[in-house]
Every structure is written in C-alpha cells, then in structure tokens.
C-alpha cells in the first residue's frame, strides 16, 4: 500500500489522530507483530483497509477504523512473554481492549470488535459486520506481512534445496 496515499487521506487521519498522537499507542512501534512489521504498522494498515471497505459499503467506518488501530494494543513481546494469562492468540484481544479503555472512551461496538478480532481462532464471533470485516482484513494483512518478509524468504531459500532433493531421490 502506498504510504503517501494513506497519509494524504485527511478523513482517515482525523478519525485516528487522537489515537496515533498518544504516546502509549506510539509504544506499539517497539513490538514486532508479524516478521518485521511492528504492531503499530500492522494496526495502521488494517485500520486503513477497514476504513476504505466500510466507507465504500456505507458501514460504520469510524468505529471500525478506531477499533482496528487498537486491535493489537497489547504492549508486550508475544514471542517471549509467558505471564499474560493464557496463550497470546486467545487473550490479546481482551488485553488490547483493556489497555485501550484505560486511555480512550470506546463504544461497545469498538470494544466488541477489538475483543473478538481473533475469530475463528477464538470461539466468540463479532456482533457486527464491521467486526467480521476487521477479522478478515487482519488475517489478510498478517499473511501478507509474513509471506513478504525477509524471514520467510530466507526459510524458502534454505529449505528449497531439501525439497528439491527429496523430490529427485
């Protein structure tokens, strides 16, 4: 996605301005989410896609954009942190919502979207169509971040030889 296009979208920037100007939200830049993408970068891109899709279909694009910007607001390294009350995939939505509620006045819809964004990994599914949209955009962005990462490319190069040998033996 063209970063200049996102930065020039004034309405999108206004919707999340108070969030991205917050110093605690800025701390998301310290934590890696998928491969070499920070939590902040990931949430920012998910928020933009949610904004575009929901605005196009006349849905509640403001709530989903704000929820998307905060959906991974957990503020820890999920690869090493073990004392969070469960497996990261199952608990980080609730942790992100709790962190967000300490700093921002969230609607019930925004809270639901954040808490349930890991469906179908977690059994509770979102109450709104905007929540489902965020869920699918989050998965799309996560896969894109992983499959275009330096780590994935190194893995493919390293193990391609093994696969080639296996099929030719």
14 φ/ψ angles, rounded to the nearest 5 degrees: -65, -40
Structure tokens at 37: 């993408």
| Domain residue ranges of the chain, discontinuous segments joined by + | 3-168
Structure tokens at 21: 């100007």
- Amino acid 27: pLDDT: 95
- The CATH architecture one would assign to domain 3-168 is Orthogonal Bundle (1.10)
Task: Report the alpha-carbon distance of residue 2 to residue 28 in Å, rounded.
Answer: 21
Give residue-wise pLDDT tens across range 53-67: 999 999 999 999 999
pTM confidence score: 0.83
């Amino acid at each position: 996605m063209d970063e200049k296009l996102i930065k020039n979208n004034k309405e999108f920037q206004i919707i999340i301005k108070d969030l991205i100007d917050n110093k605690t939200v800025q701390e998301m830049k310290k934590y890696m989410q998928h491969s070499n993408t920070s939590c902040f970068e990931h949430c920012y891109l998910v928020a933009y896609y949610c904004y575009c899709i929901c605005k196009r279909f006349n849905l509640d694009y403001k709530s989903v954009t704000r929820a998307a910007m905060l959906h991974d607001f957990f503020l820890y390294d999920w690869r090493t942190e073990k004392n969070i009350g469960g497996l990261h995939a199952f608990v980080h939505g609730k942790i992100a919502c709790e962190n967000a509620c300490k700093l921002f006045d969230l609607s019930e819809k925004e809270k639901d979207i954040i808490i349930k964004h890991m469906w179908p990994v977690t059994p509770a599914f979102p109450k709104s169509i905007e929540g489902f949209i965020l869920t699918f955009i989050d998965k799309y962005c996560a896969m894109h971040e992983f499959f275009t990462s330096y780590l994935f490319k190194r893995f493919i190069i390293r193990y391609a030889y093994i696969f080639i040998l296996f099929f030719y033996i």
